């Protein structure tokens, strides 16, 4: 379904990164993090731990209050508008609240990134239809977001984020509104993308997925980030 990526330098590097909203208290504290190309991570932590805030730094929704973020080797605080736009095109985002365009139907929401990239309509039709069928929405191509369930909207948001095979996929609770069987199916879609080179970070509370797929975890607690490798956990699980 996708073609292979080729990148070797780190996708993201966080150096002493802290973040607060306005004059509020510090939500992320002194984060050190390197995401290697082709890596796959779950991001965990209780509600309010800062997962969405940390993910926002990966797609330049906001800048760190202290420290430095590099994306694709470039310090984000030094980028021109054109460079920012160029980097954003390489990042797919699944927002916790979907952010679909309500005046576009499911097909057109998913087709949008390809249309912006100037892909031919015949190619778009084939690719979008195939992907929407994969996520079980072949009958909803013409439906508009307000007519769809939460789980259906979530799957459209996922399809839109992966359709142009980004170098980095950042997904915020992408399976929060679907049942476990569909959650696994969506994870296999991310896995297919990952095998072709996309680096993936998924914030999730779903312990079944975490246990089943056993990817490295970026765990947030009290503003600090801890990396957990599930394969070297020494507690008999």
Ligand X SMILES: Nc1ncnc2c1ncn2[C@@H]1O[C@H](COP(=O)(O)OP(=O)(O)OP(=O)(O)O)[C@@H](O)[C@H]1O
The span from the CA of 124 to the CA of 237, in Å, is 45
Which partner in ligand X, Mg ion, none is near 122 (CB below 5 to 8 A by kind)?
none
CB nearer to ligand X: pick between 53 and 154: 53
Question: Site mask, ligand X, residues 14-43, x = CB under 6 A?
Answer: -------x--x--x----------------
Single residue of 49, 137, 163, 218 touching ligand X by CB under 6 A: 49
Which partner in Mg ion, ligand X, none is near 80 (CB below 5 to 8 A by kind)?
none
Which partner in Mg ion, ligand X, none is near 49 (CB below 5 to 8 A by kind)?
ligand X
The span from the CA of 181 to the CA of 199, in Å, is 23
In this structure, the number of other CB atoms found within 10 A of the CB of residue 49 comes to 21
* Position 52 contacts Mg ion (CB under 5 A): yes
The span from the CA of 81 to the CA of 39, in Å, is 28
CB 203 within 8 A of CB 173: yes
What is the DSSP annotation of 125-173?
HHHHHHHHHHTT-TT-TT--GGGS-HHHHHHHHHHHHHTT--SEEEEES
Q: How many CA atoms lie within 13 A of 186 on its CB side?
A: 32
**Minimum Å distance from CB 27 to ligand X?**
5
How many chain residues interact with Mg ion (CB under 5 A)? 3
CB nearer to Mg ion: pick between 27 and 124: 27
Which partner in Mg ion, ligand X, none is near 15 (CB below 5 to 8 A by kind)?
none
Using the 8-state DSSP alphabet, how is residue 46 labeled? -
Question: Site mask, ligand X, residues 53-72, x = CB under 6 A?
Answer: x-------------------
Stretch near ligand X under the rule CB under 6 A, chosen from 46-54, 112-120, 157-165, 226-234: 46-54
* Position 209 contacts ligand X (CB under 6 A): no
What is the DSSP annotation of 72-137?
TTEEGGG--HHHHHHHHTTEEEE-TT----TTS-HHHHHHHHHHHTT--HHHHHHHHHHHHHHTT-
Which residues sit at the interface with ligand X, rule CB under 6 A? 21, 24, 27, 45, 47-53, 96
Catalog residues that contact Mg ion under the rule CB under 5 A: 51-52, 96
């Amino acid at each position: 379904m996708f073609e292979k990526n080729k990148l070797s330098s780190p996708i993201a590097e966080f150096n002493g990164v802290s973040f607060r909203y306005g004059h509020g208290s510090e939500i992320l504290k002194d984060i050190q993090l390197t995401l290697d190309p082709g890596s796959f991570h779950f991001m965990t932590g209780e509600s309010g731990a800062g997962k969405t805030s940390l993910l926002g730094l990966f797609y330049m929704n906001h800048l760190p209050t202290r420290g430095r973020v590099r994306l694709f080797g470039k310090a984000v605080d030094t980028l021109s508008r054109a460079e920012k736009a160029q980097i954003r095109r390489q990042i797919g985002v699944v927002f916790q609240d979907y952010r679909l365009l309500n005046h576009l139907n499911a097909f057109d929401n998913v087709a949008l990134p390809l249309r912006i990239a100037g892909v031919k309509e015949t190619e778009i039709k084939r690719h979008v239809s195939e992907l929407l069928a994969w996520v079980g929405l072949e009958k909803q191509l013409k439906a508009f977001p307000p007519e769809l369930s939460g789980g259906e909207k979530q799957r459209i948001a996922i399809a839109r984020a992966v359709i142009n095979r980004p170098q980095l996929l950042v997904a915020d609770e992408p399976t929060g509104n679907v049942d476990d069987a569909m959650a696994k199916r969506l994870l296999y879609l991310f896995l297919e993308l990952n095998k072709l080179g996309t680096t993936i970070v998924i914030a999730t509370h779903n312990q079944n997925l975490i246990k089943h797929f056993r990817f490295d975890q970026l765990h947030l607690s009290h503003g600090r980030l801890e990396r957990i490798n599930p394969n070297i956990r020494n507690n008999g699980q």
